[in-house]
Amino acid sequence: MTTDHAADMTGHHAADIDKHVKVYISVFVALMVLTIITVAIARVHLPVPIAVGLALLVATVKGSLVACYFMHLISEKKLILAVLVLTGVFFIVLLALPVFTDGNSYGFHEAPPTNAPTEPAASPH
């Protein structure tokens, strides 16, 4: 009874666990290799935009491996995936809102007109 429950509650049958363990070890090795790659990329001293892009790309791959395999998202129920997609949407809104509301601080402001006076108009007094 409890064995059936143990299988049902996780969506994994105990007999499949051996296969899962092999996958976990492969993921672990991949994460270690990717950690070395992350440090190696930083040592090359690439231009900042490229370094940021590459570092985030490697981190995203590592994070996806953890989420998909260690956290079982790859075989998880749709409801949980839906919750995470909704969270992702809110996260993007969270990230975008300050940029839209405070755009002048981040290089989105329009250039001033070329004939605009650079000094304030002289006071009549």
Partner 1 sequence: MEIPYTVELRRDTGLTNGKIGIWLFLASEVMLFGALFASYILIRTGAPSWPRGDTILNVPLATFNTIVLITSSITMVMAWASLMRRRFGTYRIYMGLTILLGFVFLVVKYFEYSAKFEHHLYPSTNNFLAIYFTLTGLHMLHVAGGMAVNAYLLGPGAKLWKTNPAWFTNRVENSGLFWHFVDLVWIFLFPTLYLL
Write out the residues near partner 1 by the rule CB under 8 A.
2-3, 5-6, 8-10, 12, 14, 17, 20-21, 24-25, 27-28, 31-32, 35, 38-39, 41-42, 48, 51-52, 55-56, 58-59, 62-63, 66-67, 70-71, 77, 79-80, 83-84, 86-87, 90-91, 94-95, 98-99, 102, 105-106
Token duo for residue 6: 């143990």
Residue closer to partner 1, measured from CB, 28 or 74: 28
Residue closer to partner 1, measured from CB, 45 or 125: 45
Helix 17-43 to helix 48-65 angle, to the nearest 10 degrees?
170
Taking Cα atoms as reference points, which of 14, 30, 23 lies closest to residue 69? 23
Least gap, CB of 29 to partner 1 (angstroms): 10
Least gap, CB of 99 to partner 1 (angstroms): 7
Provide the 10 A C-beta neighbour count for residue 82: 10
Nearest-angstrom CA–CA distance, 86 and 76: 16
Least gap, CB of 74 to partner 1 (angstroms): 13
Asked whether the beta carbons of 120 and 114 are under 8 A apart, the reply is no
Residue closer to partner 1, measured from CB, 2 or 118: 2
Residue closer to partner 1, measured from CB, 74 or 87: 87
Cβ burial of 55 (10 Å; 0-12, 13-18, 19+) is: middle
